[in-house]
Amino acid sequence: MKNKREAQEPRFAVANREALIGCALAAFNIMWWYGFAYGLGSKPPEEYTYVLGFPAWFFYSCIVGFLVMVLLISLVVKFVLKDVSLEDVEEEDEVNSA
């Protein structure tokens, strides 16, 4: 149950939303990796296809997956996340009034 102060603080809502975004990105990364690693990598090694000298499952799950995550995280940081003051509102009021 939220106390009265948490319900009034908009920075807690922002932090919760951004934490959920981070969890969604992590879940996407795991699904991407699992899908390519076990989807393409479930064949016998003799049947693997290769991309730039790497087995296709490794190339798409680890190398391309890393690049996709770097791009997604960069976009989320640039366009979605907000700069929120970590100072307590009461502390700011005391500093400003002094």
Domain count, the chain: 1
Q: Of residues 68 and 3, which shows the higher confidence score?
A: 68
Whether 86 maps to a domain, the answer reads: no
Whether 92 maps to a domain, the answer reads: no
Give the range of the structural domain holding residue 59, as residue numbers without chain letter: 11-81
Whether 26 maps to a domain, the answer reads: yes
Whether 94 maps to a domain, the answer reads: no
**Which phi and psi (to 5°) does residue 3 adopt?**
-85, 175
Whether 6 maps to a domain, the answer reads: no
CA 16 – CA 82 distance, rounded (Å)? 12
Whether 95 maps to a domain, the answer reads: no
Whether 43 maps to a domain, the answer reads: yes
Dump pLDDT digits (tens) for 12-58.
889 899 999 999 999 999 999 999 999 988 889 999 999 999 999 99
Buried b (16+ CB within 10 A) or exposed e, 23-57: eeeeeebeebbeebbeebeeeeeeeeeeeeeebbb
Whether 27 maps to a domain, the answer reads: yes
